[in-house]
Amino acid sequence: MLSTLFAPTTWAQIIKGTVLNRSNEPIVGVSLWIKGARMGGKTNQEGKYEIQGLSEGSYTLVLSAVGIQRQERTVYLAGEQELIEDFVVDATNEQLQEVVISSTKKQYKVDTTSLSLRLGEPLIEIPQNIQVVTNKVLSDQQVVSMSDGLIRNVSGAVRLEHWGDLYANINMRGSQIQAFRNGFNVVGSYWGPLTEDMSFVDHIEFVKGPAGFMLANGDPSGLYNVVTKKPTGVTKGEATFTLGSFDLFRGTLDLDGKLSKDGKLLYRLNVMGQNKASHRPYEYNDRYSIAPVISYQVDEKTKLTAEYTLQHVRMSEVGSYYVFGPESGGYATLPVDFTMTNPGIPPTNINDHSLFLTFEHKLDDHWKLTAQGSYFFYDQVGYSSWPSKVNEDRTVVRNVGIWDAQGRMALGQVFVNGDVQTGAIKHRILAGIDMGKKTYIADWGQSHDLDRDSATLYFDPLNPTYGIPTNGLPNFDRNTSLTSRALAAGGLQGQRYTGLYFQDELGFFENRLRLTLAGRYTYARQYYGADADEAKHFTPRIGLSASVDQHTSVYALYDQAFVPQSVSGALEEGSELKPITGSNTELGIKRDWFGGNLSTTLSVYRILKNNELTASENSTPANPLSIELGQKKAQGVEFDVRGNISTYLSIIANYAYTDSKVSKVNPGVPNVSVGDVMPGFSKHVVNGWVNYKLPVKALKGLGVSAGYTGLLDRATDNWGDSDLRLPDYHKIDGGIFWEGTKMRITANAFNIFDKYLFSGSAYNWLSAYYWQTEAPRNYRLSVSYSF
């Protein structure tokens, strides 16, 4: 039977060939098909294509890819002819990758990462779990910022502290992951960076575990890389208007096109304006952003790109979303819309500026040089709220503190990618240098009680009054310079670092087996106030990836990371200040299904963290002493599926099992035992999102969506010791949409069953519990028009 299926026939002729660019490079992923027939395919890694099953006759052969000019060619097949048709296009693979990733109108899955992730190889060949959330997913789920439900699309991702829409603070594999934008680590402090608005974001790449090719120093749990929109060379535009519950009004405009007739000078402009309130009274988060990008193709080998982004935020004070209650009461004892903030507290205003300059130069057919520089300036004039006292009868002394802050980052990187062949071995080379200087100054040293510490003048949650507080509103000193105020408040911190990286991926057996050998040497100096500490460390990386077949690969990885740390007070006698070191051991299998339209990734991992400091048993308030804790271990299993099962059905689903505990305890460490649970995860995280277009001609373009998020056996609290764990979390969302040639209408309902959803923690300092509710049932309606 099989021999019959694969035997040649007298009528089955073939058209095949190669697609190259002007520099004779093979072009990957270009579509070629027979016009008017369901026959065709895409070019492979060698730029080759093949169309089989044709009979004698005349055909129109079409070549097409987003971002390049469409080509049509009339061909004639006679007899048992095997016709060779080669094509030449005006594009490089790098340019096409940028365009393909940013053109995700019909896909939840991509095959490659962005250029800013440096690797330049198919996702299925990378020996690491990397998940990409595409622009199409963001649109379908009506995600408007990094903190707006985006993490449902990645296995095991949770938010430890819900800082409203100020900072994302995402946890994965047991601890907080690093935040990147366009390949730069943009973490300037624990409270950053400001959440990116999705109007200028193309997609987000989640890298699980250490990633020496990106990370000079940082937590070994992983990172996310926000990739912003770039010019595609295709003239187009899109306007979107969104209305929603709690006075959400939002408009975005995306313009993309050419500034010169020859197409060498391109632009992209994204603007956004938003008014947004909350299900709790007196809260608001109003924003606008502008993000222009210009790129210039100097010649066939050189490209320059300049990008600027401004985000302006006017919002209620940080912490207004928290509610407190006494230890005897536990969590969630007040209505879902209850608030402890007060009208009249001035707004928090933020201006967040970023600038990127990128130089790309193709040295020859096999080597490319990339140099990037970025500058960030963050300016905040604002407030935070946190109670001074929580009484057993639930009454509270509310407090408002100043939070003025400025952050500056100057970052640079230069790296080269190259291909070398030595005999039968293919080498993919990556080498580079990263440098950065970060400073963060903040005044959080001034505070004011809104309520008086008196039985009759407390704030009573059971009988709340939101008029003029009994102790009045705050009036803080802002005449003294922020630097002086930050120094007095202990709000000065910064870091300088330099990292050198080299990686060689050796390909054996026609690149079906790939061995990665790499290492990074990093020097980092960081300071808190007047104290400064240095660390130097070498982190190796070893990976193995094997292609079982064209659609399946298995991999193994060992990688390391480190985090410089400083000490408050002094070290216990005999102790040595060392950087936190972490390692990740990981095994996984990746597979593409349904012709490459659906991908699955299954991974198991173990992360070890060493040298982290904690308070010694001999520590006192007058003489604080620190000692190494020992070792923490996070381990688990992750499964992700994303893509299209059919023309009508798209799906994202994931599951993660996470177990994070203390694995070793050094002598002299108090109140910690082997096996103690470390905060920052849910043991079981389950997510799903399905889009289904109705296959009915009369209802063409109409579809339905459904989503689920489950957090089971939660240990996401952080600030206190308590046996009371957070309850399991279940959330159901759903919606309908209609998609035409130029217009799309999306309507979603979130938390359909109107559950009381919250996160929180015990807080020993106040002998209290705090929690933060999520919105009850709410709705959004978006209308997009493309032109």
Per-residue pLDDT tens digits for 496-523: 999 999 999 999 998 999 999 999 999 9
Tokens of 771: 């929690």
Mean pLDDT (whole number) for 624-631: 81
**Residues 6 or more apart whose Cβ sits within 8 Å of residue 123:** 110, 111, 112, 113, 130, 132, 590, 599
Residue 659's nearest CA partner among 673, 676, 639 is 676
Distances (CA, A) of 46 to 19, 29, 64, 93, 320: 9, 10, 17, 12, 57
Mean pLDDT (whole number) for 454-481: 93
Tokens of 768: 């209290």
Mean pLDDT over the full length of the chain: 89
Beta bridge partners of 380: 350, 405
Measured CA to CA, the distance from residue 148 to residue 281 in angstroms comes to: 19
Checking DSSP bridges between strand 222-228 and strand 178-181, what pairing results, if any?
A: parallel
The predicted pLDDT at position 282 comes to 95
The answer to whether 58 touches 14, Cβ cutoff 8 Å, is no
Checking DSSP bridges between strand 82-84 and strand 87-89, what pairing results, if any?
A: unpaired
The CA-based dihedral angle spanning residues 155, 210, 173, 111, taken in that order and rounded to the nearest 10 degrees: 0
Q: What is the three-state SS of 217-245?
A: CCCCCEEEEEEECCCCCCCEEEEEEEEEC
Measured CA to CA, the distance from residue 652 to residue 149 in angstroms comes to: 14
Q: Which amino acid would we find at residue 375?
A: Y
Instruction: Considering only the C-alpha atoms of the chain, give the largest distance between any 2 of them, rounded to a whole number of Å.
Output: 100
**C-alpha 655: how far from chain center:** 18
Element holding 102 (H helix, E strand): helix 93-102
**C-alpha 615: how far from chain center:** 33
The predicted pLDDT at position 476 comes to 94
The answer to whether 648 touches 702, Cβ cutoff 8 Å, is no
Sheet harboring 130-133: ordered strands across? 130-133, 201-208, 222-228, 178-181, 184-185
Q: What is the pLDDT of residues 525-555, one digit of tens each?
A: 888 776 777 888 999 999 999 999 989 999 9
Residue 108's nearest CA partner among 742, 549, 705, 710 is 705
**Does position 3 have pLDDT exceeding 60, yes or no?**
no
Measured CA to CA, the distance from residue 627 to residue 611 in angstroms comes to: 9
Q: The whole model's pTM is what?
A: 0.87
3-state DSSP: the chain helix, strand, coil percent, rounded to 5? 5, 55, 40
DSSP letter at 483? Answer: H
The answer to whether 194 touches 200, Cβ cutoff 8 Å, is no
Measured CA to CA, the distance from residue 574 to residue 618 in angstroms comes to: 13
% of the chain exceeding 90 in pLDDT: 62
**Does position 674 have pLDDT exceeding 70, yes or no?**
yes
The CA-based dihedral angle spanning residues 591, 184, 687, 736, taken in that order and rounded to the nearest 10 degrees: -100
Tokens of 9: 């026939």
Q: What is the pLDDT of residues 64-96, one digit of tens each?
A: 776 677 788 888 887 667 888 898 887 766 566
Residues constituting the chain = 787
Tokens of 612: 């982290």
Element holding 3 (H helix, E strand): helix 2-6
Measured CA to CA, the distance from residue 94 to residue 660 in angstroms comes to: 39
**Does position 180 have pLDDT exceeding 90, yes or no?**
yes
The answer to whether 652 touches 681, Cβ cutoff 8 Å, is no
In CATH, the architecture of 94-228 is: Beta Complex (2.170)
The answer to whether 378 touches 194, Cβ cutoff 8 Å, is yes
The predicted pLDDT at position 567 comes to 64
The predicted pLDDT at position 694 comes to 94
Mean pLDDT (whole number) for 330-336: 94
Q: Which amino acid would we find at residue 164?
A: G
Q: How confident is the model at residue 564 (pLDDT cuts 50, 70, 90)?
A: confident
Q: Where are the domains of the chain?
A: 2-91, 94-228, 236-786
Q: What's the CATH fold of domain 236-786?
A: Maltoporin; Chain A (2.40.170)
Sheet harboring 768-773: ordered strands across? 323-326, 768-773, 758-763
Q: What is the CA radius of gyration of the chain?
A: 28
2-91: which CATH number, 2.40.30.10, 3.40.630.30, 2.60.40.1120, 3.40.366.10? 2.60.40.1120
Residue 6 three-state SS = helix
Is-same-fold flag (2-91; 94-228)? no
Q: What is the pLDDT of residues 701-743, one digit of tens each?
A: 999 999 999 999 998 776 667 778 899 999 999 999 999 989 9
The predicted pLDDT at position 568 comes to 58
